[in-house]
Structure 1
Amino acid sequence: MNSAINFTNTVAVGLGAALGAWSRWGLGIAFNAILPNLPLGTLIANLSGGLLMGVAMGLIGLGSLDHPSLRLFVTTGFLGGLTTFSAFTGESLSLLHRHEYHLATFHAFTHMFGALLMAALGVAAVQYVKH
């Protein structure tokens, strides 16, 4: 894989990151008001990002996502911008500061294990479609 720092790769990562961040922002606007105490937008971003990362990993494993700039656009750029550890951390800390320990635990569990599960499902989906 040629992931060298060059103009094409830099633009690919930057554009992907912008699109991912805008998508995460839109998810927050669309879904955070549904459950004011539990930010669904970030959860949806992290779970869908996990699923899409699994799909990307599956495609990379098949050699289908082989162009270095496209791979960087999707993984480091778009999915890096879409998913967010910093927002997850801030939201978890906010729940803890409000003494909402059950919600904080649920929040942390669903983000961490949910994203892992979604990534595994993404890889499995690619394997299923391949066969």
Structure 2
Amino acid sequence: MMNIIFAVFIGGGLGSVLRWLISLRLNTPSSSIAVGTLTANCVGAFIIGLGLAYFNKATHLDPVWKFMLTTGFCGGLTTFSTFSAEVIYLLQAGKIGWALFSILVNVIGSLLMTVLAFAVMNKL
């Protein structure tokens, strides 16, 4: 159990740092939508799709790796809380259209990226 906790801890730390770096690079104060958050969510959704599809086939691997990648790394990389806060800020600023757009592209984009990743892994 401790090895899984440690794996999630390491993966989560790496994913969180990557999300922070993506946000620093892509989010700008003048933008109506947080491109960094969208990128982190969609990339994380793609990676978790690849990982889950791979681990479903590679049953011989230690489950620690699955937890490190999915719960840890992807959990740290993706961010529902930041996304939620950004939508609330848009609503408070009266940017209802941008808030709805952000909701749509984050949710639908993430789902599509996960589906795409499963499709890619099933082709390999």
5 Å-filtered alignment, 1:41-120, equals 41-63=36-58, 66-120=61-115
In structure 1, the partner of 2:5 is 10
1:67 to partner: Cα distance: 1.4
In structure 1, the partner of 2:16 is 21
The share of aligned pairs that are identical, in percent, is 31
Q: Is the 8 A contact 1:59 1:65 kept in 2?
A: no
Distance across 2 between alignment mates of 1:63 and 1:85? 29
| More moved, 81-90 vs 60-69 | 60-69
Q: How many residues end up aligned between the 2 structures?
A: 124
4+ long deviations beyond 6 Å: none
**What do residues 55-102 of structure 1 show as CA deviations (whole Å, max 9, x unaligned)?**
011102212683111111000000000001100100000000001011
The normalised TM-score by structure 2 is 0.95
Letter of the aligned partner of 2:108 in structure 1? F
1:128 partnered with 2:115: no
1:41 to partner: Cα distance: 0.5
SS of alignment partner, residue 36 of structure 1:
coil
CA RMSD of the aligned region, Å?
1.4
Structure 2 alignment gaps of length 5 or more: none
1:11 to partner: Cα distance: 0.8
The normalised TM-score by structure 1 is 0.90
